[in-house]
A and B are shown apart, each in its own frame.
Chain A
Amino acid sequence: MSETLNLDWSVFAIVLGGALVTWMTRIGGPWLIARVRLGPAANAALEATPGAVLVALVAPAALSRPSDALAAAFVCLIARRVPMVVAVVAGVVAVVVLRRLI
């Protein structure tokens, strides 16, 4: 047998543990929220969560350097006007050019 198929049992145990806790975070959201009654404020918070998560996901990377911030602003401008694929490709091209220039 080649090395490719070596299974390290201690790694496998970690993988199983990681898989279990990850799956629990995935099924836990709907499970928890179905069991609590939300007021209007909590509901507004939950509705704002997707946008806030996306902002938090991109903010550190998008603002890490001026070239990336400019390209990110460019993508925001065109995002609602062109199909997503076009906006993504245009953004990547923009960032490559801007990183060379700035």
Chain B
Amino acid sequence: MSTGSFAVPASPRQDFASGVVHSLPIVAGAIPFGFLLGSLAAKAGLSALDMGLMSALVFAGSSQFVAVELLDKGSAGLAVVGAILLVNLRHLLMGATLEPRFRGVPRARAGLALFFMTDEQWALALRRGPELSLAYWYGVAATLYLAWLSSTVAGTLAGALIADPTAWGLDFTFIAVFLCLLAGFWRGAGSLPPWLASAAAALAVHALSSGGTWHILAGAVAGGAVAALQAKGQGRTRNV
């Protein structure tokens, strides 16, 4: 069976274990939020089974928060599905950056592996670099999946709202994790203009619509546009 451009590790078990270990800091931050989502779902009238199925099948945190909020408000089913789609549109860009890895991977295998692609999964996979194997991918995926499924179901069963995670600085876990991952993408001063453009666009859009995840798409597009301009500029100086 072909694994495309994924590395074939000497010890898949060890690679899987590395994936599990690297996911632990993320899991520590995700569990309180899963618990919070579950308790919000209970408030919205969802059963633990409803919540479990949503976490198991949708498996996309921010979109689940939006969905539960809309269900609580009694929104129409199509509107909820549409909101989930909008929040998850960013996956298109993330998946596009992983395409070289999935080239030549049989369709069913790729479809299964990509089912688990969350923000955190994607970032850890890129950070792994050329060593990235499917064993590592599934080490991360299994850990994040189990943590998310169990914490959201536990939250629904517990029902009552837990204390605000921000009180313990747990909300900052995600910021810290993403900043560490971002540091891995630093390629010298040339990285700065796209990042600043992304930050500016994200902040502007976030100020206009703080609820959604449009700011992520805006930042990605702005950063990509500046990087494209940089590449064009370099091409021109080379031609001179």
Say what secondary structure dominates the interface of chain B: helix
A37 proximal to B (CB < 8 A) = no
Contact between A10 and B77, CB atoms less than 8 A apart:
yes
Contact between B77 and A49, CB atoms less than 8 A apart:
no
Contact between B49 and A54, CB atoms less than 8 A apart:
no
Contact between B180 and A87, CB atoms less than 8 A apart:
yes
Question: In which size bucket is the chain A interface?
Answer: 35 or more
User: Could you say which of A5, A51, A61, A95 contacts B182, with CB atoms under 8 Å apart?
Assistant: A51
Contact between B179 and A75, CB atoms less than 8 A apart:
yes
B31 proximal to A (CB < 8 A) = no
Which of chain B's residues has its CB closest to A93's CB? B169
Q: A10-B77, A53-B90, A85-B25 are in contact. Are A44 and B198 (CB under 8 A)?
A: no
Say what secondary structure dominates the interface of chain A: helix
Closest CB in chain B relative to A59 CB, distance in Å:
4
Contact between A56 and B219, CB atoms less than 8 A apart:
yes
Closest CB in chain A relative to B125 CB, distance in Å:
10
B94 proximal to A (CB < 8 A) = yes
Closest CB in chain A relative to B99 CB, distance in Å:
4
Closest CB in chain A relative to B233 CB, distance in Å:
10
User: Could you say which of A3, A16, A58, A68 contacts B57, with CB atoms under 8 Å apart?
Assistant: A16
User: Could you say which of B99, B186, B203 contacts A63, with CB atoms under 8 Å apart?
Assistant: B203
B181 proximal to A (CB < 8 A) = yes
Complex: A87 Cα to B183 Cα, angstroms: 11
Contact between A80 and B186, CB atoms less than 8 A apart:
yes
Q: Which B residues fall within an 8 A CB radius of A?
A: 22, 24-25, 29, 45-50, 53-54, 57-60, 63, 67, 71, 77-78, 80-81, 84-85, 88-99, 102-103, 110-111, 114-115, 117, 119, 122-123, 126, 157, 168-183, 185-186, 191, 194-195, 197-199, 201-203, 206, 210, 215-220, 222-232, 235
Q: Which A residues fall within an 8 A CB radius of B?
A: 3-8, 10-19, 21-23, 25-30, 32-34, 40-63, 68, 71-72, 75-76, 79-80, 84-85, 87-89, 91-93, 95-96, 99
A-B contact pairs, 20 of them (CB 8 A): A8-B47, A14-B81, A17-B81, A17-B84, A19-B57, A25-B85, A25-B91, A30-B95, A30-B110, A42-B228, A52-B219, A53-B94, A53-B119, A53-B219, A54-B181, A56-B216, A60-B202, A63-B203, A76-B179, A92-B173
